[in-house]
C-alpha cells in the first residue's frame, strides 16, 4: 500500500464541520435542556485550545527538548486534575492530593513503561510519540479517576448507616467500606470495558483511523491500537485503584471511626 498524502482541511472545511456543533446547540436550545451556553463555551474553548496546542507542539517538535516535553506532560496532568475538580461537586477528603498522586503514579508509570518497552523509540522524550501517547493515557485515566472519586464519595454517603453498624460490630475501616470501594472500582472500569468490547465492531478508534488516513498499513494501525488500549486499561485500573486505596482511609479516624465531615 502506497503512502497516501493526507488531505489538508481548509478553514472553510472546518467552518462546515463546526456547523454540526451549532446544530447540536440549536437542538439543545429547542429541547430546553439548559446546556446551551456550556456547549457553546466548550466548543469555542476546544477550538482555541487545540490551535494553541498545535502551534506549541510545532515548536516542541522543532526544539526536541526533554525539559519542554516534561513541562507539557505536567501541564496536561495538572489541567486534567483541575477539570476533574470542577466536575465533581461533592469531593472526597484530600481530593487533589489523592487524585494527583494517583494520576502521577498510574499514568506516569504506564506511559513510560509503554513508551520505553512496548514502542521502544529513541530518544525516550521524542515528542512525536510521547506527547500523543501520554495524552491518550491521561485523558482516558481522567475519566476513570473521576468516576472512582465521585462514586466513592456517593457510596460513603449513602452507606453511612451501614458502615457505622459494621464498625459497631467490630469491623475495621477497610472491612466496613469494602462494598463501597468495590462498587466505585467497578464504575471506574466500566467505560473502558465497554469501549474494548465495542472496538472494531461498533466503532473504529481515533488513533487507528488517524494512522490509516495518514497512509499507515491497516494491520500496523491495528497493532498500535491494541497496544495503546491495553496501556489505557492498565492506567485506568491502577489510577482508580490507588484513588480508592487512599481515598477510603480519609473517611475514617485512626481509631476506625467514621468522620463527621465527608467532603
pLDDT bucket at 5, cuts 50 / 70 / 90? low
**Residue 1 has what pLDDT?**
46
Contact 208, 221 (CB under 8 A): yes
pLDDT in tens, 99-114: 999 999 999 999 999 9
**Residue 107 has what pLDDT?**
93
pLDDT in tens, 155-169: 999 999 999 999 999
Across the range 183-193, mean pLDDT stands at 93
**Closest residue by Cα to residue 148 from 224, 72, 91, 78:** 91
**Residue 204 has what pLDDT?**
66
Instruction: Please report how many Cα atoms fall inside a 13 Å half-sphere around the Cα of residue 48, on the Cβ side.
Output: 6
Phi and psi based region of residue 94 (left: phi greater than 0; alpha: psi -120 to 50; beta: remaining): left
Across the range 70-82, mean pLDDT stands at 89
pLDDT bucket at 203, cuts 50 / 70 / 90? low
C-alpha grid cell, residue 42? 466548550
pLDDT in tens, 12-50: 988 999 899 999 989 888 887 777 888 889 899 888 988
Does residue 183 have a pLDDT over 60? Answer: yes
* DSSP 8-state symbol, 204: -
**Residue 218 has what pLDDT?**
81
Predicted model pTM: 0.80
For the chain, the structural domain boundaries read 1-63, 66-251
Amino acid at each position: 500500500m502506497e503512502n497516501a498524502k493526507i488531505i489538508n482541511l481548509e478553514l472553510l472545511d472546518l467552518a462546515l464541520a463546526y456547523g454540526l456543533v451549532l446544530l447540536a446547540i440549536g437542538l439543545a436550545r429547542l429541547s430546553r435542556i439548559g446546556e446551551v451556553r456550556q456547549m457553546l463555551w466548550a466548543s469555542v474553548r476546544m477550538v482555541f485550545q487545540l490551535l494553541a496546542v498545535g502551534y506549541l507542539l510545532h515548536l516542541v517538535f522543532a526544539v526536541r527538548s526533554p525539559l519542554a516535553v516534561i513541562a507539557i506532560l505536567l501541564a496536561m496532568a495538572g489541567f486534567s486534575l483541575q477539570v476533574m475538580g470542577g466536575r465533581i461537586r461533592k469531593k472526597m477528603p484530600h481530593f487533589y492530593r489523592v487524585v494527583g498522586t494517583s494520576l502521577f503514579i498510574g499514568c506516569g508509570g504506564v506511559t513510560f513503561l509503554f513508551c520505553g518497552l512496548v514502542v521502544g523509540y529513541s530518544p525516550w522524550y521524542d515528542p512525536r510519540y510521547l506527547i500523543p501517547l501520554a495524552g491518550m493515557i491521561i485523558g482516558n485515566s481522567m475519566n476513570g479517576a473521576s468516576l472512582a472519586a465521585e462514586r466513592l464519595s456517593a457510596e460513603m454517603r449513602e452507606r453511612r448507616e451501614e458502615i457505622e453498624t459494621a464498625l459497631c460490630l467490630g469491623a475495621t475501616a477497610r472491612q466496613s467500606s469494602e462494598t463501597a470501594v468495590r462498587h466505585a472500582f467497578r464504575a471506574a472500569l466500566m467505560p473502558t470495558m465497554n469501549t474494548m468490547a465495542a472496538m472494531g465492531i461498533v466503532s473504529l478508534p481515533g488513533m487507528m483511523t488517524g494512522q490509516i488516513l495518514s497512509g499507515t498499513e491497516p494491520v500496523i494501525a491495528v497493532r498500535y491500537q491494541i497496544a495503546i488500549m491495553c496501556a489505557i486499561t492498565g492506567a485506568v485500573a491502577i489510577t482508580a485503584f490507588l484513588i480508592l486505596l487512599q481515598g477510603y482511609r480519609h473517611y475514617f479516624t485512626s481509631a476506625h471511626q467514621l468522620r463527621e465531615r465527608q467532603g
